[in-house]
Every structure is written in structure tokens, then in C-alpha cells.
Structure 1
Amino acid sequence: MSELTTVARPYARAAFEFAVDKNTIEAWSTMLFFASEVAQDATIAKILTRDKAPQELADLFLNVCGDQLDESGQNFIKVLAENGRLSVLPRIAQLFAGLETEYNKEVDANVVSAYALSNTQLKELSISLEKRLARKVNLNCSIDKSLIAGMVITAGDLVIDSTASGQLSRLSHTLQS
């Protein structure tokens, strides 16, 4: 996975910088998502692994994408085909989305709770996290009844564990020290 990231990162950065310069971040995000879905199609994935001329691969890929890509998106696909990098499109799209989130000063926070949270609780949690992280927070909530009580919040590198088992574990560790 890290090798794919190393290969995809410069392409994602270049596409993102171009999108910022042209004020077309949303359009590029849509194009890259679509192109990544095309690259992940089983039939297309097989074709990408065969020995074909870069121009032939680019033409095939662009025919499948149709009018979903504008001229700059088509040129991007041609560059990827020329460099034999069409197969890393899914990772490029992921990295682009991460750059977009960072640019918009947003963070995705995963909240796993023992029970469903009310709208008031979600709003308070969101406000609290936005203050702590100094950015807009997008909450992704799920329920795990095995937690018994509390919740685990993960936002980037930050992990907040307020579950009953987490508190008991910390208490046990403190008592053993």
C-alpha cells in the first residue's frame, strides 16, 4: 500500500494544485472518483495489466469515461497512461480527497457508541470536537452494543476512548503502576 501511495502522491498533488489554480476542486474530485471506479472495473483492470501502447490504453480509457472528463481530465489520463500509472487511479482519487478535506479545513470523525446518540448529543459533540480540532468536523456514527457504555471517537491521529471497558482498563493500568 505504501508503494502505491508513493507512486500516486505526486499525481494527486499535481491534480489538486491544478484544481486549486483553476478553482475546479469539486469538478476534479468528481472526475477522479469516476475514473477511479472505471480503473477498478474487473474488465478494465485486466486490460491495464496487458502490454498495450500507452496511446491505445488512454484512448480505450477515455472512450469508457465518455464525457465525464473535461479536457484537462482527459490530458491527466493521457499522462497517466504514458507513464503506466492508470492502475493507481483509485489511490490518486483517495489522496486527492484527503488534500481536499485538508484544504477545506475539515476532518472526518468516526464515532462508535454503545447506543444511538440524539441530535442534541451529536450537535454538542460536533461543536466540542470543532473547538478542539480547530476545523469543521464531519461525524460518521455507528453503534456497537458490545461497548456497554460510552463511545470511541477517532479523528485522524486523535483517539478518545470514553467506553466503560476503556476506563476500566486505564484504572487497572494505574493500579498496577
Structure 2
Amino acid sequence: MEELIAKRYATALSSVSKDVKSIASVLNVLSEAISVPEVHEALTSPIVSAEKKTDMILSAIGKEADATMVNFIKILGENKRLDLIPAIAKVLNADLQKESNQYEGVLKSSSELGKEELAKLEKTLETYTGSKIELKQEKTDLEGLRVSVDDLGIEVNFSKQRVKEQLIDFIKKSL
């Protein structure tokens, strides 16, 4: 439900704004600020008035903020939807990625790949999808590799355990 509402706000914001990139970057910064537990608690608290919540967000973006952005924050505040800012930012970022045909993905593995190997993997994904994909590496205890690009719905998993299980199944079937 939250994502659906965020999409509507993001669509409305995109239709009235000429510089969606800068608005998305402001919303990304606000999202980071909202992820701080104290700020999130203040935004979701029934004790703090909607006006104070709106003023808090407006003071965070500064007095030099775009009029469209200020009005957008005020509308969110009036409708008690300031806590949707991270979801709206996520939708706007996804729209910008789709528009530019550039996506971000995550490579999870137990060891870090070299720059050359990472570049080859990105090139292979680019050939497969037709989109430029930038991978960020994360270390996990997973023995193997997992590549995911959420905005494209891609998840590829190569694990030693899975290969081992498939090999055992194949041997069992051949006997």
C-alpha cells in the first residue's frame, strides 16, 4: 500500500518538476536523515504536530530550496505522509534509472572480486540486459556468488552447495 501511494506522489512530483534529478537527490538526503531513529520517531509520533514535522523537514532542506520541493513537503505534511519520503525517493530513483537505462546491482560473495573480473561481469550483464549496470560488492558468508539487480528483476546465484546438490542428484539418477 505504501509503495502504491509513493508511486502516486512520485508521479505527481515528476509531472510538475523540471529538474527531477535534483529533487530526487534532495529526497535521498532526507531519506538518510529519516533513517536516523530519533528523526523517524519524531516523524511518526502522534505527540508532535503535523506543522512541527513539516517545519522540521523544511528546515532540513534549507531556505534556498526549490519552490516545488517546499510545496511538495507541505502537501506531504498536510496529509500526514512525511514518513513516505524514503519510499517516494526510491520510486523516483527507479524512474531515473529506467529513463537513463543505468541500474545499480549488488554482488554478494565471500571474497572480493578484482576490478577486472567485476568489469567483465558488468559487461556480460550489459550484453544480456541491454542496460548499463554498476555492481557494488558486499561481503557475505555465502560460498559462491549472488548478483541481484532489483529494478530489473534479475537475481543470479552460483553457490558451491547448490552445484554439489545438483551433482549428487545427477549421479543418483544415472545409477
Residue 113 of structure 1 is aligned with which of 92, 109, 114?
A: 109
Corresponding residue number in structure 2 for 1:102: 98
Give the deviation of 1:91 after TM superposition: 1.4
Give the deviation of 1:167 after TM superposition: 1.3
Aligned letter for 1:7? I
Aligned letter for 1:168? K
Residue 154 of structure 1 is aligned with which of 145, 148, 151?
A: 148
Moved over 6 A (4+): none
Q: 1:117 to 1:43 in 2, by over 3 A?
A: closer
Corresponding residue number in structure 1 for 2:128: 132
Alpha-carbon displacement from aligned partner over 1:33-86 (angstroms, at most 9, x marks no partner): 233344445256425533676555434432343236311100111111122211
Give the deviation of 1:161 after TM superposition: 2.2
Unmatched tracts of structure 1, length 5 or more: none
Corresponding residue number in structure 1 for 2:137: 141
Give the deviation of 1:144 after TM superposition: 3.8
Partners in 2 of 1:68 and 1:170 — Cα distance? Answer: 60
Are residues 1:31 and 2:29 paired? no
Aligned letter for 1:28? I
TM-score, normalisation: structure 2: 0.79
Give the deviation of 1:16 after TM superposition: 3.0
Alpha-carbon displacement from aligned partner over 1:65-115 (angstroms, at most 9, x marks no partner): 323631110011111112221121121112221222222212222212343
The percent identity for this pair of structures is: 20
Are residues 1:84 and 2:70 paired? no
TM-score, normalisation: structure 1: 0.78
Unmatched tracts of structure 2, length 5 or more: none
Does the residue aligned with 2:62 lie in a helix, a strand or coil?
A: helix
Q: 1:160 to 1:56 in 2, by over 3 A?
A: closer
Partners in 2 of 1:25 and 1:11 — Cα distance? Answer: 13
